[in-house]
Amino acid sequence: MDSLPPTTSVAALLRWYADAGVDETIEETALDRYALTAALTARPAATTATTTPPPASTPPPPRTAVREPPMTAPSRVPLESPQLVEDARAAAASASSLAELEAAIRAFEGCSLKRLAKNTVFADGAVDAPVMVVGEAPGEDEDRQGKPFVGVSGRLMDRMFAAIELTRERDVYITNILNWRPPGNRTPNLSDVAICVAFARRHIELKRPRLLVLAGGVPAKSLLETETGITRLRGRWFEYTLPDGTRIPAMPMFHPAYLLRSPGGKRQSWIDLLNIRDRLDQILAT
Ligand code: URA
């Protein structure tokens, strides 16, 4: 008889799955949706009657353990749902303080990411900080703890700001474009971003920072409404305009996760940090 694998190997296997991004069990066996789509396309038109009905005494066919794929085509991921975007905007607009915005986001059911996330991740840092950092999306650690940038990228980000004498406790307030972790840390799709950016915009409006740092391509592109990539955006000053006309200097930077993968980018990020420090000193002096 096969012996059961030791508990440690099962735990290691689960850990391996989680690290690879598998964080949800949907079916016992994997479903090849490409084959399913092909089969559906090739399926002949259904017949309505059989010419030779089986004799009444024929026993029903035995039930087998084989699972038939569902006979509907897999649903497409909508690129953007205008109604859900409208709902998010209305929910965001109904909030008149950061606490109300947090409550509105927690109550919002229009973003499918929320179904798989453990936590809603709102913000961390000093509420009256002059600098507001907007990142991309919570990762595994952030999802578990319910706070942005608490994992390995967050630790690098804290060290980067510490190098220009800014701390999360006093000078920096942090949030993300997405308030829920995309499963397996996949890149946020257009639909996720279009819905959640409504909350991020209201977040900036209610927080009213003196300076914005956009950490990575997703916040830079969505908040500056551009298709230009982060490599060309970083290091340049932009103006982010609030609905009342207030203009906030905004600096796109490489995301710390990118710097962990490509340490060569740290030299450019150091220049960006010095630039941020200079601009902040000017702002605080006025
Ligand atoms: N990366 C992000 O963009 N945000 C987080 O909160 C963590 C990692």
From CA 48, how far away is CA 189, in angstroms rounded? 42
Give per-residue pLDDT as tens, 17-43. 665 555 555 555 565 555 554 554 454
Global confidence as pTM = 0.75
Nearest ligand 1 atom, CA 176: 4
> 154 CA to middle of ligand 1, Å?
7
Give me ligand 1 centre to Cα 53, in Å: 62
Index of the ligand 1 atom closest to the CA of residue 147: 6
Summarised one tens digit per residue, pLDDT across range 121-137 is 999 999 999 999 999 99
175 lines ligand 1 (CB under 6 A): no
For 62, 88, 177, the CA distances from 196, given in Å and listed in that order, are 50, 7, 6
Exposed, middle or buried: residue 8 (CB in 10 Å: 0-12, 13-18, 19+)?
A: exposed
**Residue 81: pLDDT band by 50, 70, 90 thresholds?**
confident
Q: Are 134 and 175 in contact (CB under 8 A)?
A: yes
User: Quick check: helix, strand or coil at residue 17?
Assistant: helix
